[in-house]
Homo-oligomer: A and B are copies of this chain.
């Protein structure tokens, strides 16, 4: 977890903020938001909002009253208390890629398996730059669909001791996630301090579907954290305008956050953003674009104005391989993420091919990017001591600092040390095999897995979790 004490980079004027404010108010009150779940509609109806069929017309001020019940920041428990994190304020929490049906390993692209899932959780556990493996780090397509959430939660709870994300594929699957978390954390502790954070995507534009709502309702009842995220690819799920998309994002996110607060006032919730654009030439989604970077900067400023934590960012790219494009697009997303101070960053490592692929080598590229940026976004110490006048006296005009006492006393710690990047001179690099960053990344993730040791876990607890998985799998008919 990074405490980002550097300034936030904000590009919206007060006037722009006021215009956006008018925008979301008009959407929720005149167009309304569709909620495809009776319990959700009942909550809004009981609170006096106008409901017709599945559309809810919302009073903007009522929405803001509900949103104000959400905590400004909250703690998210980890199995290892030292890895618990704060969500909100200056804290930035980084989790791995989420939701990819495929993996890429070197030049091979294939359907993801449970073995891949476990390997990627191990990698997320191994690198301290990640605070969480996330949840569906890839989609384990070789396991039965109805019970795979059990396998995933089991792996997340046993191969990692960092906070994790819950299943949102249905209400019952959310209940399973909560039940397994209770075994680890105890019911009371879990209810007091959330240990599960879950991603609720809006079926944008302006619609929450039944499946996501049923998961939202279960987690909210259990006081577990929710990331309510409009899913906005401009040109597909929103207009081809950043301004219009920001207003829509506010309307959708605030409506869902209000629902969470109606279910359980004070339930920890995160203002989510997933905002990029369609490539209007190919019709494909496009990531790491200038528009998405602008959207990120604006979203941070907007979420702060509502006083709630927010989620966005990551190492997004449309590239098919861990090449130059993958790297510059990941940076196009991750740098604004830092500048805007996102509190919960999904897809921080491994994202490839517009989110269809969890890439092993890309995972390492992203870890290096995180390592660099987490270093850069620390305050710079300017003091008489760091001015190091004595070093200048020591070296003099035209001298060299490499052998200076000042240098020798500090050379181990003075600068960032890369994991993946090479500064080798050409001859040495060539002699060492002339490997590019992707090849070196392959060596790094393999070595990391070889050396991996799972965090300690009580045998009784492991057996209890395992029995739950076996019993529920049988009940689900897999």
Bitwise, A359-396 to B at CB < 8 A (1) or not (0) is 00000010011001101100111111011110111011
B388, B426, B434: the one contacting A353 at CB < 8 Å is B426
B26, B281, B369: the one contacting A389 at CB < 8 Å is B26
- Establish whether residues A424 and B282, one from each chain, have CB atoms under 8 Å apart when the complex forms: yes
Smallest beta-carbon distance A232→chain B, Å: 10
User: Is A175 an interface residue when CB atoms closer than 8 A count as contact?
Assistant: no
Interface centre among A55, A241, A365 (most CB of B within 10 A): A241
User: Is A332 an interface residue when CB atoms closer than 8 A count as contact?
Assistant: yes
User: Is A155 an interface residue when CB atoms closer than 8 A count as contact?
Assistant: no
| Bound complex: CA A353 to CA B441 (Å) | 19
| Bound complex: CA A391 to CA B204 (Å) | 14
Taking CB atoms, residues of chain B closer than 8 Å to A375 are 290
Smallest beta-carbon distance A312→chain B, Å: 16
| Bound complex: CA A319 to CA B425 (Å) | 9
User: Is A72 an interface residue when CB atoms closer than 8 A count as contact?
Assistant: no
Interface centre among A27, A372, A392 (most CB of B within 10 A): A392
A372 and B290 in contact (CB under 8 A), knowing A31-B392, A239-B401, A415-B234?
yes
Known contacts A23-B389, A279-B415, A356-B426; can you find 16 more A-B pairs with CB under 8 A? A7-B11, A31-B393, A31-B396, A205-B398, A239-B388, A243-B386, A244-B392, A280-B411, A286-B421, A288-B421, A318-B423, A320-B424, A324-B441, A325-B368, A328-B369, A332-B376
CB within 8 Å of B: which residues of A? 6-7, 9-13, 15-16, 19-20, 22-23, 26-27, 31-34, 55, 109, 203, 205-207, 234-244, 246-248, 277-286, 288-291, 293-294, 298, 318-332, 335, 339, 353-354, 356, 365, 368-369, 372-373, 375-376, 379-384, 386-389, 391-393, 395-402, 404, 406-407, 410-412, 414-418, 420-426, 429, 434, 436-438, 441
